[in-house]
Structure 1
Amino acid sequence: MTRLRLLFSFVIFLPLLASTPVPTGKTTFQWKWKENQVLELNEYHDVFFRVGTKTVEREDKNRVVMKPKKCSSDSCLVNAFFDTYIRYGKTSGPFWKDKEFLSDFTLFRNGRYEVPNEFIMPNLRSFPSFPDTPISVSDVWKLPAEESFDFNAERIRVKVLPEYTFQGIFPWSEGNYKGNCEKITYTYPIFYTKPEGEKMVPNVPYKIFGFASGTVFFNASRGVPEFKEVKLSYTFIYPNGTVQEANFHIKGIYFLRNQVNAKDKEAIREDILGDLIVGYTGDPNGSKLGDPNKLPSNGKEPNNENLGRITDTGEIPAPEKNTDPEKLPITVRTSDDGIVFSLDSILFDFNDSKLKPDAETAVAKIAEILKKYPDREIRVSGHTDNVGKKEYNQKLSEDRAKSVLHALVDNHQMDEKHISFKGYADDVPIVPNDTETNRHKNRRVEITLVLD
């Protein structure tokens, strides 16, 4: 069965434009943007497939992060990355991190997209698009858009013509989030037939038809989308006579925030490090372990008495024999994505994925820190050394990642919709697997607090 993934991405990458008088009772819609900001979209999809009597249900989660690269008066070049996640069945449980996509595309002031052929995403394009003139409540307009279907052997791009209606200002709410702004609804049919004379391709439909209906809450004064809900229904007909039905119910929440640079990440890492280090009483001036800019008044490095659990290099300091500080096998570092907590493999018995009782202390402390960032994505990844069969290591790495994820969700009430897992076996070593010491370092679980 073909697996389809659909992603809406509504972005706001345009510089502030000079204001012009707007007639009373009318609203001007356009995208606005400040170059130090990022738009993040978190989507949740209920997905249903049917082929004959066989059905598959799953839930997808998509995280889209979009940044401007260069803007002019009428458009911006957008750099975006798309993370996709899956869990099967209409049930709770962890999301499995599936794929990553990168894209550079142009967004025009009225919401029209131009996506080069080499990029798959965004695959639903120019939703919503706005008239150039102000509109009133109940006004209706049509502007062209496009859906791009990416099959294994061929990509199909289908032109559509949505009909939009401005409904006025309404409240919206989803989970813990709510707002009150301009509401726009739209509908459109979709129909595609492979042009006559073109070769039929196995596992690629030669006919697609369906229907879409959507609602977008767009804050016109800020030029920012806040929430959207979309229902999509497709029928795919394949050359061998197979008929596949696919239905998507999509909800998406937008977060507008400032970009996080390397300096910001390092400051966050230092704050987190300070939260992890407890029981440190050796410095009367209160300097944090690992902070090179803060030394005791005598100008000397603090001794080992009552040192905390870890240093900024991840090494556990040796305490004086009359102290008994709690020690946790955790290192903290920055990465391209954000802040990474790396948990040593001693959290598990050899060839086992069940957390040891002592590991709960480490996970509990990390959970306490992560709860300070409730809207951020959390990724749990499992890693092994290169000893043993690849298939076994793959499953072991996934099971260990899931053990940590379940501890965060079940024991510390973290929102599972913001947490995913993936096993990497020995594909991402941090050091060469050439000594037992190095192999030990590579056997780990990492928790990433995603900041970008």
Structure 2
Amino acid sequence: MTFRRLVFYSFVTILPMAMASADPQSKTSFQWKWKENQVLELNEYHDVFFRVGTKTVEREDKNRVVMKPKKCSTDSCLVNAWFDTYLRYGKTSGPFWKDKEFLSDFTLFRNGRYEVPNEFIMPNLRSFPSFPDTAVSVSDVWKLPAEESFDFNSERIRVKVVPEYTFQGVFPWSEGNYKGNCEKITYTYPIFYNKPDGEKMVPNVPYKIFGFASGTVFFNASRGVPEFKEVKLSYTFIYPNGTVQEANFHIKGVYFLRNQINAKDKESIREDILEDLIVGYTGDLNGTKIGDPSKDKTNGKLPNEENLGRITDTGEIPSPEKKTDPKNLPVSVRTSEDGIVFSLDSILFDFNDSKLKPEAETAVTKIAEILKKYPDREIRVSGHTDNIGKKEYNQKLSEDRAKSVLHSLVDLHKMDEKHISFKGYADEVPIVPNDTEENRHKNRRVEITLVLD
């Protein structure tokens, strides 16, 4: 197995924890308490290290998991989950590349146990943690079965493990701009797998896996959901051809609990965003623009004034008589299954060039101002082309244009790159058929998605 193929998606998607009080003899019961109208989002960041012989590869992974209960009973919830994975190589800053997407339906029992149908590979760490039936005190220890599922190209290997959990009490946690104070559980377990005698060896699939895991999970017992986790995983894979591969993961993840957003909510957000894209214009004889500190006496808005100007491809603020129809803007805004999509017209770039035109920064600046109002949300930048030209060229052009917009958001507008990723799609995702020049023009675009689900 190559370094590229071994992408271990360490989604300890749901790591609940226990609660301690000032009295170490007090007991706490643990169970999941989320409801059908709630969404639990996990944002994970992995430091990854691979070694085969003297060759090493370092990588950073970012995983976003969105879990929605479809139906809940007193003892379990049927969960619909989306798994998005992102990569960047080397110990460097810079944008994450959008890698893969996975969907999954699984059952999460109130005690933390999972049941995952065979057709789904996610989550691959299952029943972490599981809770005892009785309440626990600080320093109590328990063991319950769990499973790791390794999905290789031609075979899936499931390894049964038995983690040992210890309830530590209530402690503070912090990660970046996020912090909390809730119940802390630590756990450890060894990993060992040896292909049974008589089973056929498969190339690029290990016949032996061994390793060790240790983790800390903060679970808010009163709310019944996790808040933060930190996990260290170490694996050694031995392949039929004698290759020995080591893989180490250091994972940190923050959870966010929120109510689900419906189609009506999304449309309301889209309308608010369209309002934010409007640029004010005074329309007086001196041509004064809103925001001119020497002449603006009304905090950017004159009495009875309408917002008449909108962004154009030149950055110009149109006069009232040129009153721009929103359909003619180089930036359109629509709702999607994922959230709100800003679509940047290809006129913001020179022909066959990935560099943003200087005047295009007007549009990106306005979009950045809007995106900063949603600091905890995922931002995806995607590049798209028409179907004219070679596939390889279009793929690179679409990636370069997406990166150009991303770098503008990060470098010029100081947006947090940890929440932004890019991907080029060439002509794979047209919004209209590539059957006319007008339609091909529409397909040549860069999109910025504000992820709401």
Change in 2 beyond 3 A, CA 1:28/1:450? same
Equivalent residue number for residue 254 of structure 1: 255
Is contact 2:15-2:129 (8 Å) kept? no
The reply to whether residue 8 of structure 1 matches residue 8 of structure 2 is no
Q: Residues of 1 paired with 2:317 and 2:365: CA distance? A: 21
- Over 4 Å off, 4+ runs: 316-328
Change in 2 beyond 3 A, CA 1:270/1:53? same
The reply to whether residue 394 of structure 1 matches residue 376 of structure 2 is no
Q: Residues of 2 paired with 1:67 and 1:308: CA distance? A: 41
The 5 Å alignment of 1:11-410 reads: 11=14, 25-279=26-280, 307-309=308-310, 321=321, 329-410=330-411
Is contact 2:14-2:128 (8 Å) kept? no
Q: Residues of 2 paired with 1:274 and 1:72: CA distance? A: 42
Q: Encode CA deviations 1:50-83: one digit per residue, 9 max, x unaligned.
A: 0001101100000000011111211111110100
Q: Residues of 2 paired with 1:59 and 1:41: CA distance? A: 16
Higher relative contact order (CA 8 A, sep 6+): 2
Tell me by how many angstroms 1:306 deviates.
6.8
Is contact 2:310-2:324 (8 Å) kept? no
Tell me by how many angstroms 1:11 deviates.
3.9
Equivalent residue number for residue 292 of structure 2: none
Tell me by how many angstroms 1:321 deviates.
4.8
Tell me by how many angstroms 1:309 deviates.
1.9
Q: Secondary structure, in 3 states, of the residue corresponding to 1:93? A: coil
Structure 1 gaps, min length 5 = 14-22, 283-304
One-letter code aligned to 1:3: L
Change in 2 beyond 3 A, CA 1:244/1:418? same
Is contact 1:110-1:129 (8 Å) kept? yes
Q: Residues of 2 paired with 1:322 and 1:442: CA distance? A: 26
Change in 2 beyond 3 A, CA 1:388/1:158? same
Q: Residues of 2 paired with 1:123 and 1:364: CA distance? A: 40
Q: Encode CA deviations 1:10-61: one digit per residue, 9 max, x unaligned.
A: 3499xxxxxxxxx961111111012211000000000000000110110000
One-letter code aligned to 1:120: I
Is contact 2:35-2:72 (8 Å) kept? no
Q: What is the total number of aligned residue pairs between the two structures?
A: 418
Q: Residues of 1 paired with 2:149 and 2:282: CA distance? A: 60
User: TM-score normalised to the size of structure 1?
Assistant: 0.89
Q: Encode CA deviations 1:178-220: one digit per residue, 9 max, x unaligned.
A: 0111100000000000000000000000000000000000111
Q: Residues of 1 paired with 2:73 and 2:159: CA distance? A: 28
Tell me by how many angstroms 1:279 deviates.
2.2
One-letter code aligned to 1:385: D
One-letter code aligned to 2:9: L
Q: Secondary structure, in 3 states, of the residue corresponding to 1:358? A: helix
Is contact 2:45-2:251 (8 Å) kept? yes
Is contact 2:11-2:123 (8 Å) kept? yes
- Identity of aligned pairs, percent? 88
Q: Residues of 2 paired with 1:128 and 1:324: CA distance? A: 56
Is contact 1:306-1:324 (8 Å) kept? no
User: TM-score normalised to the size of structure 2?
Assistant: 0.89
One-letter code aligned to 1:212: A
Equivalent residue number for residue 285 of structure 1: none
One-letter code aligned to 2:46: H
Q: Secondary structure, in 3 states, of the residue corresponding to 2:389? A: coil
Q: Encode CA deviations 1:317-349: one digit per residue, 9 max, x unaligned.
A: 986557899995100000000000000001110
Is contact 1:319-1:325 (8 Å) kept? no
Change in 2 beyond 3 A, CA 1:182/1:320? closer
